[in-house]
Amino acid sequence: MVKRLNGEAFLVTDMEKLKVYFDRTGHTLTVWFGDPQQEYVSEETGDGVILMKDKDGRVIGFEKLNYSKHTAEPLKVAFETVEM
């Protein structure tokens, strides 16, 4: 299913397929809610965020640059579904 938010098309998938990667060395947080193999193009938003899109231009993931955690605790991620 495809939803639009602020003019961008986002691919909406089951939450169990969501992938979150934290790279301590590269200081990035990457979130995929689509198949990473389907990435066709990336677009930097100018806010240190890169949107990964499929061939149809739908956002299937994003990466936050210069992300860092200042504690040794495991990264905790919470998600909330919203009606669009």
17-36 residue pLDDT tens: 778 888 888 999 998 988 88
pLDDT at 50: 93
Q: In this structure, is residue 40 part of a structural domain?
A: yes
Q: In this structure, is residue 31 part of a structural domain?
A: yes
Instruction: Say how far apart CA 74 and CA 68 lie, in whole Å.
Output: 12
* Number of domains the chain is built from: 1
Q: In this structure, is residue 75 part of a structural domain?
A: no
Q: In this structure, is residue 74 part of a structural domain?
A: no
What are the pLDDT digits (tens) for 38-73?
A: 999 999 988 899 999 999 988 889 999 998 877 677
Boundaries of domain holding 22: 2-64
